[in-house]
Structure 1
Amino acid sequence: MKVLIVGGAARLGPHVIRALEGEHTLRVTDIVPVETQHEFQQVDIASPAEVHGAAEGIDAIVNCSVEREGRRRAAFDVNSRGCYNMMRAAVSHGISRVINTGPHFTIQGNTYTTFDYEINPDVPPHPSTNPYALSKGVGQEICKVFTENHDVHVLTYLFYEFRDHNNPTLRGDHPFAISWRDAAEAIRLGLEVDLATLPSRCEAFNIHADLPHQRFSNEKNKRLLGFTPQDRLEAMWQRR
C-alpha cells in the first residue's frame, strides 16, 4: 500500500514512519523539511493545491499534522482547513482510507472528563473550548460529513499523552497515556483492518494503554482493530 503521511515532522510522525516503513511505500510530507529515506514533499496542509498534489497515486492517508499553540488562525488552518483539504484530496483521488489524529478532547471535553468514567469514543462530541480543541473538533466534523456523502472511511485516533516505553523514570498519572511505539502500532493496524467490518464510515478510537484509572475505555480498539497495547506504563502509577 502507498501511504501518505501528513505531518511527518510532528511528534508522532517519526514513530509512524518507523512502524510502517517495512510494509508500505511511504510518501512523507510536512511544512518543514524532513530527513527521511522515503519520498518527501514539502507541503502546507492549509494549501488545497499542495495537498491534492501530494495525494496523487496514494492508497491511504495518515494525518499526524497538528497546531497546538494558542494562535487561532494557525490552529484552524492546520487542524480544520487541513482536514477539509485532506478529505477533498481523498475523494478526488479515490482514496478510501484515512486515519486522522487528535487529542481526546476533540470529542471528550471537560463536560465529560469532569464527571464521567469509562468514557467511550462514541459519545456525542463535546470538545473543550480552547483553540486547539475547537479547531480539531471542527476538523473531525468535516471528516464525518465527507464520509456521509462519499465512499471514504475515516478512522479518528484520539490521543493525549505519549510516553517512551524505555524510560524507567516515568512519572505522572494521566488516564489517557500510551507509548510512542504502541501509538504507531495502532496506526499500522488501522491500515490493515477490513473497512467492511467497521460499523460506519467514520469511527473514533481512544488510543491509550490499559491503565487502572478507568476514566476512558479502549475496548473498541481491541474489538475492531485487534489492538492491545503492549506497554502498560506501570512506572507512571506504581510506587517503587
Structure 2
Amino acid sequence: MRILITGAAGYVGRYFSQHWQTDDELVLGDIHPNPDDARCIPLDITDPAQTRAAMQGIDAVVHLAKQADEGPMEGDELNNRRFDVNLKGSFNLLEAARDAGVKRFIFTSTIMTVLGYQAPEWVASDAVPRPVGSYALTKQLGEVMCAHYAQQHGMSIVCLRIPKPIDLDHPLWKTHPLRPQWVPFPDLLQAYQKAVTASIAGCEVITIVGESKQRRWDLSKAEQLLGYRPTLIPEELGYQMGSEDQPIPEESNYA
C-alpha cells in the first residue's frame, strides 16, 4: 500500500516515518521536507494544486499536518493560521483524495474537541463535541467535513481523537509527571496502522488515549473497530502520573 503522511517532519510525523512497522511504501509530505530522505516531497496542504499532485498513486492518507501551538485563543494571526491549515488544508486533502479515489483517509482530530466534558464525567469514544478553544474548534469542523465526504462521496474515513503522544524513553518523562490521557508513541502508532487497514465504511470518530487508572475516555470503539489494545501503562512502569491539566514543558525540551 502507498501511504501519504502529511506533516511528516512534525513531532508525530517524524516518529511514524522512522517506526512504521509494515511493508507499506511511505510518501512523506511536509512544507519543510527532509532533503536527506528520498521518501520526502514538498507539500503545502494550503496549496490545492500541490496537494492534488501529491495524491497521485496514493492508496491511503495519514493526515497529521496541523497548526496547533498552545492555548485556546491566541490572537488573530494564530487563529488565521489555524483555520488556513486545519480547515482549508484538510479540505484540499479531502478533495484531492476523493478525486484520486483514495481508499482510506485518516484524519487526526484531538480529544480537545471534548475538553468541555469535566472530570469525572465519562467521555464516549465519539461523544458529541464540546470544544475548548479555536484549535479544538477547527478539529471539530474537520470531523464535520470528513463526515460530509464519507456520506456524499462514499469515502472511508477514520477520525482519531488523540491526546499528546509521548516518547517514554525521553529522560524528561523520568522526572516530569505525565497527564493520564497522554498516549505512548508505540500505542499511537499501533492505532494508526490498524486504522489504515480496518474494515470501516463511511466515517467513524474514534478516541485513542493512554491507559491508566485515571482514564475517563472510552476506548471500546477503538477496541471493537480497530482491534486496538494499549500495550504500555506508564504508571505500572514507574512513571509519575499528574492531573489532566498538568503543565506541559516546552516542546523543544522533548521533541
Q: Same fold (TM over 0.5)?
A: yes
**C-alpha distance in 2, partners of 1:170/1:51?**
42
Asked if 1:84 is matched to 2:88, the reply is: no
Partner of 1:220: 221
SS in 2 for 1:12: helix
Is 1:154 the counterpart of 2:160? The answer is no
Judge which range, 149-158 or 214-223, deviates more: 214-223
Q: Does 1:174 align with 2:179?
A: yes
* Matching residue of 2:64: 64
User: How far off its partner does 1:147 sit?
Assistant: 0.8
Counterpart AA for 2:5: I
May I ask how many residue pairs the two structures share in their alignment?
230
CA deviation map 1:73-121 (0-9, x unaligned): 1101111111111110111001120011122122x132x1x25532112
2:80 to 73, 81, 96: 73
TM-score, scaled to structure 1: 0.89
Q: Is the contact between residue 83 and residue 140 of structure 1 (CA under 8 Å) also seen in structure 2?
A: no
Q: How many Å separate the matches in 2 of 1:170 and 1:78?
A: 34
Partners of 1:122 and 1:131 in 2: how far apart?
Answer: 20
Deviations 1:9-32 (A, max 9, x none): 111101222333641001111111
Structure 1 partner of 2:106: 99
Paired residue type of 1:135: T
Rounded Cα–Cα distance in structure 1 between residues aligned with 2:51 and 2:21: 21
**Distance of 1:170 and 1:156 partners within structure 2:** 33
Separation in 1, partners of 2:37, 2:186? 20
Question: Which whole-Å deviations, capped at 9, do the CAs of 1:156-211 have from their partners, x for residues lacking one?
Answer: 11112222222461543523111112111211111121235xxxx11112111221
For 1:142, the equivalent position in structure 2 comes to 145
Give 1:122's aligned residue. 126
Q: CA deviation at 1:215?
A: 1.8
Which of structure 1's runs of 4+ aligned residues deviate more than 3 A?
A: 35-38
Q: Which runs of 5+ in 1 are unaligned?
A: none
Question: Is 1:187 paired with 2:214?
Answer: no
**Are 1:237 and 2:224 matched, yes or no?**
no
* 1:62, distance to aligned residue in structure 2 (A): 0.3
Q: Is contact 1:163-1:180 (8 Å) kept? A: yes
What do residues 112-147 of structure 1 show as CA deviations (whole Å, max 9, x unaligned)?
1x255321122222221x221112222221111111
Change in Cα spacing, 1:236 to 1:221, as seen in structure 2 (3 Å) is: farther
CA distance in 1, matches of 2:206, 2:180: 15
Please say if residues 4 and 58 of structure 1, whose CA atoms lie closer than 8 Å, have aligned partners that are also in contact: yes
Aligned-partner residue type, residue 109 of structure 1? L
Matched, 1:109 2:115: yes
- Judge conservation of contact 2:180–2:211 (CA < 8 Å) in 1: no
**Aligned-residue CA RMSD in angstroms?**
1.9
Q: Which letter maps to 1:216? A: W
The code of the aligned residue for 1:30 comes to: D
**What letter corresponds to residue 111 of structure 2 in structure 1?**
H
Answer whether contact 1:207 1:221 (CA < 8 A) is retained: yes
Q: TM-score of the superposition, structure 2-length normalised?
A: 0.84
Contact 2:200 2:225 in 1 (8 A): no
User: Counterpart amino acid of 1:42?
Assistant: P
Residue type of the partner of 1:94?
G
Q: Distance in 2 between matches of 1:203 and 1:20?
A: 23
